[in-house]
Chains A and B, each alone.
Chain A
């Protein structure tokens, strides 16, 4: 089979333009989410008002009825009439920051294609507000503390570029912890430390920010039409030979199409795929009498039945048919042997064997 030159645009697979339409589903979900977040934040700040807010109200010279009435209401109905302790205040603010940062990640994924998608940006967008919040709970309106913070950050000089923007959040978190401890606000330091660790581990554990398609499906939960469109674009991207911007290493397991791929053993190719986060655990080889006919059906079934999967390679047999290989993380209720049998039964006439 003739190998395609990577610069041969005449044979490039046309990539459909992604729709920029923001549907009702997206708007509805965003509206509903912010509504719920507003209620949650409002409730939390009502029952756990920060000391600084109460102090501001108390020291105001204005005799406006609204301010006194607000103070009276806050004093009567919250759990800490004299002001919430700093560590609880930090928890409340961090929860608020996290809830408000999540839609940013949602919109980032929605407005980016798989080519422009950067996983570490997602992690940074989620984690950085939490760190900044905790730091500012400590700093509050103290000018001295603010200048100290600026000086400390400036003093931490990176001679080597950070590999990912997400690495910077670790640096800032450590600065925040040190900062809080330095001014005897260990409770805030503890809240920052615990929340940062739990969130980072949680994101890593579910691999929520790894591949474009997985992240989109999990985070954005779009309508079926949206997802099908996004996945079609992602697959078209994967099928297009590397042109102007070749990647140094595959990130999401998509390589060149069967017609242009170098001859490597399937094992070597599978070993070359290292998605960020946890790695899919089992290898699935699907033998087909018609590669192009079988692939969409196989992948649709994997979408429905597997917890996670990554396309590894497609190899055409000289005499006809071929092999599709995937790295699959099966669900507990659908282990790999069952998944194979399901493929043989339901993935259409072109699938002849699965191992």
Chain B
């Protein structure tokens, strides 16, 4: 049973109430095709659980195989600095073929961000440390690929593509029985 090394805290990007019965943490890469496949599934799960689910996203860009993943993660953080992390998160997964500089600026413009501030923060790598901390916490938590999920602090190794199995695991976690998948 592999546990999350760093608990969810105020520094995390969180959707859902703090007291939710199920906490789902995802270590993801914006250029990872599997993460893009998981995105609508996670959206569905979030909708299904409603206030019973707290969803947390942490960056784990695999720069070696995904050259744009790091910059995309910084772009999401820059959007988050202007209060639109989740909007950028959704947009990046929905348009995964557009993660270069020009596309990221376009995303920022579409979201109504302060473009000057956005570009400045990307150019100065203002959020790089934050990304690095997420990667480090993932490594300590046993993340070895993306997406990696933790349900109530325990790594889920089951088939997340199987929506029913995924939900079942979270239901069992809510009953107090941890499932590794």
Contacts and interface: CB of A to CB of B under 8 A. Distances in A.
A: interface residue count bin: 10 to 19
B161 to A, nearest CB: 16
Contact of A289 (B45, B48, B51, B171): B171
A24 B158 CA distance: 59
B49 A352 contact: yes
Interface in B1-51: 21-22, 44-45, 47-51
B172 interface: yes
Given A319-B179, A352-B22, A355-B44, A341 B50 contact: yes
Nearest to A354: B48
B77 to A, nearest CB: 30
B177 A319 contact: yes
A322 B50 CA distance: 17
Nearest to B169: A319
A319 B172 contact: yes
Give the dominant DSSP class at A's interface: mixed
A340 interface: yes
A310 to B, nearest CB: 21
Contacts of A323: 168
Given A352-B21, A352-B22, A355-B44, A317 B171 contact: yes
B175 A340 contact: no
A353 B171 contact: yes
A352 B177 contact: no
Given A319-B177, A320-B177, A353 B52 contact: yes
Contact of A321 (B44, B47, B48, B174): B174
Contacts of A355: 44, 47-48, 167
A287 interface: yes
B21 to A, nearest CB: 6
B177 A340 contact: no
Nearest to B51: A344
A289 B171 CA distance: 6
Contacts of A337: 47
Contacts of B179: 319
B170 A353 contact: yes
A82 B44 CA distance: 72
14 contacts: A287-B168, A288-B171, A290-B175, A320-B171, A320-B172, A320-B177, A321-B168, A337-B47, A344-B52, A352-B174, A353-B48, A353-B52, A353-B170, A355-B48
What 6 A-B pairs have minimum CB-CB distances, sorted nearest first?
A355-B48, A320-B175, A344-B50, A319-B172, A321-B171, A353-B48
